[in-house]
Amino acid sequence: MPNHARCRWWESPSRWVVEQMVAVPYRLVSLRRREFDDAPWYGFVVGRTDELLAIHQVSDRYSLDGYRIFRCSDLTEVDEQFHRRSLIEAALSIKHQSPREPSDLDLSGMRRAMETAQALYPVLIINRERIYPDEVEVGTVRRTSEETYVLRWLSPEAIWEDDDRPFRYRDVTMLEFAGEYEQTLALVAQHREKVVQLPPSS
């Protein structure tokens, strides 16, 4: 049986972060949250605080595809040795892909994480799994307060829709950004807006 380097976050998250992760940058791990995840997430740790942990995600196609931010209090397993590790490492090496840390990403809290991620990338995917376990919010934050945010939604058809309902930062369980899916939607929406704004031909 492999020797798992496993963190039980509810016992001593800050000690595990300092002793097990700071020494080696871009540590490849398998993550699971017992309350939400049927299968683990894979990725390279690119940022961590006592509140949040960020990974450069490895997709099902064994490519690096965007970032995910988790609440440390939700994580129940963080394993360094797992059965797909060698496959992931080989695939990324063949594809010449290496993890990168997003610049100026603030992980001091979920609000700051969302604000700084949005400053880097045009669209966020926001998960509120305790309230809506099978739904995500795709869009950009257009108004914010200390406790809540209001979204400009981006539909699956790449159409922007305004919504005045406030949502609470404390309900956000996971944040995604810079992935191919949401980046593609943003590009299509941007292209459509440019086409609409073009002056008529003479």
Q: What angle do CA 73, 77, 78 make, to 5 degrees?
A: 100
User: Domain 103-197 class?
Assistant: mainly beta
pLDDT at 197: 61
pLDDT at 157: 95
pTM: 0.85
User: Which CATH number applies to 1-101?
Assistant: 2.30.30
Do the Cβ atoms of 139 and 162 come closer than 8 Å? no
Distance between CA atoms of residues 16 and 153, nearest Å: 37
Do the Cβ atoms of 120 and 66 come closer than 8 Å? no
pLDDT at 26: 87
**How confident is the prediction along the chain (202 residues), in pLDDT tens digits per residue?**
333 333 443 343 444 443 455 445 689 999 999 999 999 999 999 999 989 999 999 999 999 999 999 999 999 999 999 999 999 999 999 999 999 999 999 999 999 999 999 999 989 999 999 999 999 999 999 999 999 999 999 999 999 999 899 999 999 999 999 999 999 999 999 998 887 665 555 4
Classify the phi-psi angles of 73: left when phi > 0, otherwise alpha if psi is within -120 to 50, otherwise beta.
alpha
Domain ranges of the chain: 1-101, 103-197
Distance between CA atoms of residues 136 and 138, nearest Å: 6
Which position has the token pair 């880097």? 120
